[in-house]
Homo-oligomer: A and B are copies of this chain.
């Protein structure tokens, strides 16, 4: 398995693009807001969606269009969530129709996604006007993926893109993805969009199975602020152009594909956590020597979700009592009196708690460890052999600033 360039255009047979069409009236003309990903052949496809009871219209339309497990492309906009507003459902359908018209395909060939403000009617005129130029701009090069990745960004400060190559069934198979996500990220997915393309030959059932397993271990272990969004979606399109023997059951090839998908999504999940709104550092909590992976995951999530832990990380304050406290209210079983806690980063490691009780430690060294751009909170439960890691970020002034005045 090796990293390659090209994002969603890395896999054979995919093109992508992104343009500014003006979804949000008066928005910066340099900001792309409409993305399209297209496969030259029909794809097996799978997706997972937000668990929020309030789901945006594009989620329902995508669910419908994926009923057969096949599609050809994805149309997505930023700047408006197309949720909880008059005509949301019609507008989501209409976006697919417009994409179909512009590409000579059928509306049900498209998945549709939106991200942005909730509750305002999506104006389709700019999308209709922008589509011909977007289709014309579609590219199979890295530039196409780059433009699409930019077009789905909202408060993201960095573009999220990754791709890799792996051998499956004697063939070189490529997987690539673009993602967006910054606020409203939580274990059960925040406004997070992730579009994965691959030239692997795999059935949609196997694709769905791999995606479920992988999302549980990657995007569902990311938290920025505990809010889950109405619009989250992670979709995978597989067009089979790698010519590997089609993956139809849980064999070795499936395991190789799933491992590659896991590596790809893990990279993006970490990128999303590190780019949490206003974040100044990526926080990873690893809980190990747990009796079950489930309890380890619950504990790690509670730690990276805690506003007090997050604020302490912002202040580079080794306030490990908040870590233990967050574990305590996670509702996962553990023995506080067995717990060891350490903070580590590129600057080293500092043990702060042993068997549930505070250790004397060098505050200067702790400060040095905690001021790095990536900090690991290492929790040993001393109870068993399972583990899980979750990702989050610190809570900063900028988070408050960004979210105190997002609509205007």
The chain A residues found within 8 Å of chain B, CB to CB, are 51-55, 81, 83-86, 117-121, 183-184, 186, 188, 225-230, 305-308, 311-312, 314-315, 317-322, 324-331, 333-334, 336, 352-353, 356-358, 395-397, 399-408
Known: A54-B327, A321-B84. A403 touches B118 (CB 8 A): no
Residue numbers in B under 8 Å from A227 (CB-CB):
306-308, 322, 325-326, 329
Q: In the assembled complex, which residues on chain B have CB atoms less than 8 Å from the CB atom of A55?
A: 328
Give Cα distance in the complex from A327 to B52, angstroms. 8
Majority SS of interface residues in chain A? loop
Shortest A137–chain B CB gap in Å is 31
Can you report 21 A-B residue pairs in the complex whose CB atoms are below 8 A from each other?
A51-B329, A53-B330, A53-B334, A54-B325, A54-B328, A54-B356, A55-B328, A84-B321, A84-B324, A86-B358, A226-B307, A228-B325, A311-B399, A311-B400, A311-B404, A312-B403, A314-B400, A314-B404, A319-B406, A397-B397, A397-B401
Cα distance A308–B155 in the bound complex, in angstroms? 13
A324 surroundings in chain B (CB, below 8 A)? 54, 84, 118-119, 230
The interface residues of chain B lying within 8 Å CB-to-CB of A327 are 53-54
Q: Are B401 and A336 in contact (CB under 8 A)?
A: no
- In Å, the complex CA distance between A408 and B363 comes to 10
Query: What is the CA–CA distance of A378 and B379 in the complex, to the nearest angstrom?
Result: 42
Q: Which residues of B contact A334 (CB under 8 A)?
A: 53
Answer whether A321 and B358 are a contact pair too, CB < 8 Å, given A400-B396, A403-B308: no
Contact present for A226 and B306 (CB under 8 Å): yes
Residue of B nearest to A395 (CB): B400
Cα A1 to Cα B358 in complex, Å, equals: 48
Question: Nearest 4 A-B pairs (CB), nearest first?
Answer: A118-B321, A315-B404, A54-B328, A311-B403
Give the distance in Å from the alpha carbon of A336 to the alpha carbon of B50 in the complex.
15
Besides the contacts A226-B306, A319-B406, A399-B400, what 10 more A-B pairs have beta carbons closer than 8 Å?
A: A52-B329, A53-B336, A84-B353, A84-B357, A184-B308, A184-B325, A228-B328, A308-B403, A311-B402, A312-B406
Smallest CB gap from A320: residue in B:
B119
Nearest-CB distance from A381 to chain B (Å)?
A: 12
Q: Is the CB of B225 within 8 A of A407?
A: no
On chain B, the residues within 8 Å of A336 by CB distance are: 53-54, 84
Assembly CA distance A82 to B86 (angstroms): 55
Task: Give chain B residues whose Cβ lies under 8 Å from the Cβ of A86.
Answer: 357-358
How far is the CB of A84 from the nearest CB of chain B, in Å?
6
Given known A-B contacts A314-B400, A321-B118, A396-B400, A53 and B329 have beta carbons under 8 A apart? yes
Shortest Cβ gap from A284 to chain B (Å): 19
Q: Which residues of B contact A400 (CB under 8 A)?
A: 311, 314, 395-397, 399-400
